[in-house]
Structure 1
């Protein structure tokens, strides 16, 4: 057994202890094929060779008439563990291990070894988390324990899952995924299928499709589009490669805040752009001002785009590999910070349109030609729209999560659907900046909102210093 305690320096301190059982491997419930499966040339790029953490919080629904008496008596740890084993029969590559071949080509050896699973208990209730049900989460390292030697990309479990029972009868489901195996839509598909099986289904309603060859490079490979996301950029003081004294804060944007930000751009532009476009552009601008790059330095915004709808014919419905692109807009810091906000909005709106099927083919070809490079993070604001993610739908039989989504925002920032204490629907955006830059960011954002008639705080007062570099 292992245990740990932690506290959050949110407005009201929260301290609790987590007691963990020894990590175990959950194998497929039935025998599965032993074979090698190649990843696609989109999957195995350097930028996806990382771990993707997520977390879900579930209420105790014992008094909910929709939950029958038998379900109320069930142990979520046992139910979820068994459902994972059954789901792995269909998603058996997740039970294997990654290997690397010639040309840095990644493949899964389907060994059936299983995924890492941790059973845990915490002496805290869901209600005690209060407004902490958004990144940064108190005690995240204990709620999603990093099992020693488990976090490598090669030769390690592809999924790490921890289910933590809470004192109130609720529970927390947290996991870490090797990103080369699936993107947000893919892992959402898998977790929802685990939920279906946990609720009694014998098989997934959407059959998983591997077929990674559909996103392999052409023969011969040829780069046919412009890909600024893979430019080699020199690092300078304006970069956001994390260092010591970083601060992680989340910001809530409800209808009033979004309306205020829209007032900062021309009406005709506001009518044709999305909430994501406006909010991303405003945060990019505030963030750039806060980081204080030289006026002539190039700055970038990079949006993670799910390209599934851009293919003709469409990819198979159950395809769970990575189908994401990183289109990038660039300008100088001086232009971004001195021009009206509408300038930034126009850049964000246009960049998402460039992702087509040919664009994705071109990315795959670039990976083969240039040795699978990492997208650039230098002076880049990387952001993803998670408001349509089905992670908020994952139901193991105790209803949908109070929160379901990214466990933290660091290099990438996410738009996460969120309902505040007043019942307002909106989105939370985690931001990760050096301490002094965060102060400037908050000030700049407040000024932007106040100048457009928002007289209540959109800024959360929760922040947590992060001492270790990423």
Structure 2
């Protein structure tokens, strides 16, 4: 369960001139309103994603940057709102000015091979070299909605890194775009799933009708200060849970519950509990778990091809004492079963095969370091499992790892 990328990895990148890639053909010039889910404050940030591709014999004479840039221009003909710019209207309502100004694209060369990154698993200490923070590339309003960098490696492989404005699409919507880009890069003339805008289907009623308590919009007080300065130093680590670890966690709950829960529920329960122990909260301190749940397939209103934000994030609220006290695994499991989701991003093939790693480069999002995304992953032994990036204060991370060990979860040697 180590950090996979060597923290002392040093390499240089030759950065070429960044450019804006516009749609390959003329596209409609119009204003499109985002949905009420899209433009909420909690989604006004950029999400980084990174894919690592090894060399492929059949692609040895081909330039991945050129192929992807050319495909990007053609893909934007279908996804033309992504080539526009966000504007803010009355009451801070967001809309897209479909101006075809283009998305930011950078190609680069690095004097490093893919093998030098070690076994690929977040966090990646070198990520700042793989997606340059160029002036004007990180804002939300009046900025490019996509920032892509393709970095060619000495071994013939390459790294595809991207920032996407979260107000424009959720994880599944963005994967839909990436797969469309990959299909066109491989030679198709149009995506197999055509994009659908239809943001009005996820806008609130007028007047709004609230039918339940929405804890996800509560203003939550910040944790109390800790006198120990070391505990304020946030660190990133990721943890791999394969068949051995999952089986060991299953032994921690009553036998009759083991076949009534999913792997996601079991793993989320365990990690949430260990994280709470690591933070050393008081018994009456409130703790919350927020999960993302995809609304596609649950609502007939959301059509196939919809690439906007189409999810809800139910929140469960309890206390630290209940979560880590007696019968805590059984109790926590029942709480977690109220909210769940899964996702994967590695199956995006530009012609070089599937990425050897595809997902987020680290924990956190939108200035909230507590966010963790589960990514399907192969460890160094070839075992299929789930890797979870976490960001915690230094001392809390040490206690988290200690709790894993005391629970009988064998640490991976990735």
TM-score range relative to shorter protein = over 0.9
Matched, 1:393 2:380: no
Aligned to 1:124: 112
For residues 302-351 of structure 1, the C-alpha deviation after alignment (integer angstroms, 9 at most, x for no partner) is: 1111111211x252110000011111111111111113211111100123
- What is the CA–CA distance in structure 2 between the aligned matches of 1:351 and 1:164, rounded to whole Å? 38
- What is the CA–CA distance in structure 1 between the aligned matches of 2:100 and 2:65, rounded to whole Å? 21
- What is the CA–CA distance in structure 2 between the aligned matches of 1:395 and 1:317, rounded to whole Å? 21
Aligned to 1:143: 130
1:405 to 359, 369, 375: 359
For residues 47-85 of structure 1, the C-alpha deviation after alignment (integer angstroms, 9 at most, x for no partner) is: 1101000000001011xxxx3xxx431100000000000
Which ranges in structure 2 are unaligned for 5 or more consecutive residues? none
Per-residue deviation at 1:414? Answer: 1.1
- What is the CA–CA distance in structure 1 between the aligned matches of 2:204 and 2:32, rounded to whole Å? 16
The DSSP-based 3-state class of the residue aligned with 2:167 is: helix
Conservation of the 8 A alpha-carbon contact between 2:9 and 2:126 = no
Distance 1:13 1:419, change over 3 A: same
Aligned to 1:464: none
Distance 1:42 1:80, change over 3 A: same
Conservation of the 8 A alpha-carbon contact between 1:229 and 1:326 = yes
Aligned to 1:361: none
Per-residue deviation at 1:173? Answer: 0.2
1:58 to 53, 60, 67: 53
Aligned to 2:73: 85
2:217 to 230, 251, 255: 230
Distance 1:287 1:238, change over 3 A: farther
The DSSP-based 3-state class of the residue aligned with 1:446 is: helix
Aligned to 1:42: 37
- What is the CA–CA distance in structure 2 between the aligned matches of 1:458 and 1:385, rounded to whole Å? 22
Distance 1:244 1:84, change over 3 A: farther
Aligned to 1:17: 12
Matched, 1:251 2:239: yes
Conservation of the 8 A alpha-carbon contact between 2:4 and 2:121 = no
Matched, 1:198 2:185: yes
Matched, 1:300 2:288: yes
Per-residue deviation at 1:23? Answer: 1.2
- What is the CA–CA distance in structure 2 between the aligned matches of 1:56 and 1:136, rounded to whole Å? 13
Aligned to 1:208: 195
Matched, 1:27 2:8: no
- What is the CA–CA distance in structure 2 between the aligned matches of 1:152 and 1:140, rounded to whole Å? 19
Matched, 1:422 2:381: yes
Conservation of the 8 A alpha-carbon contact between 1:27 and 1:85 = yes
1:161 to 124, 144, 148: 148
Conservation of the 8 A alpha-carbon contact between 2:4 and 2:122 = no
Distance 1:127 1:238, change over 3 A: same
- What is the CA–CA distance in structure 2 between the aligned matches of 1:459 and 1:102, rounded to whole Å? 54
TM-score for both structures, normalised by structure 2: 0.94
Distance 1:228 1:430, change over 3 A: same
The DSSP-based 3-state class of the residue aligned with 1:14 is: coil
- What is the CA–CA distance in structure 1 between the aligned matches of 2:390 and 2:352, rounded to whole Å? 31
1:440 to 376, 391, 399: 399
Which ranges in structure 1 are unaligned for 5 or more consecutive residues? 1-7, 353-383, 461-470
2:333 to 345, 349, 360: 345
For residues 2-40 of structure 1, the C-alpha deviation after alignment (integer angstroms, 9 at most, x for no partner) is: xxxxxx996673221111112110010011111000000
Conservation of the 8 A alpha-carbon contact between 1:238 and 1:293 = no
- What is the CA–CA distance in structure 2 between the aligned matches of 1:170 and 1:415, rounded to whole Å? 25
1:221 to 208, 211, 231: 208
The DSSP-based 3-state class of the residue aligned with 2:245 is: helix
Matched, 1:275 2:263: yes
- What is the CA–CA distance in structure 1 between the aligned matches of 2:53 and 2:137, rounded to whole Å? 26
- What is the CA–CA distance in structure 2 between the aligned matches of 1:430 and 1:11, rounded to whole Å? 16
1:456-467 matches, within 5 Å, as: 456-458=410-412
CA RMSD of aligned residues (A): 1.7
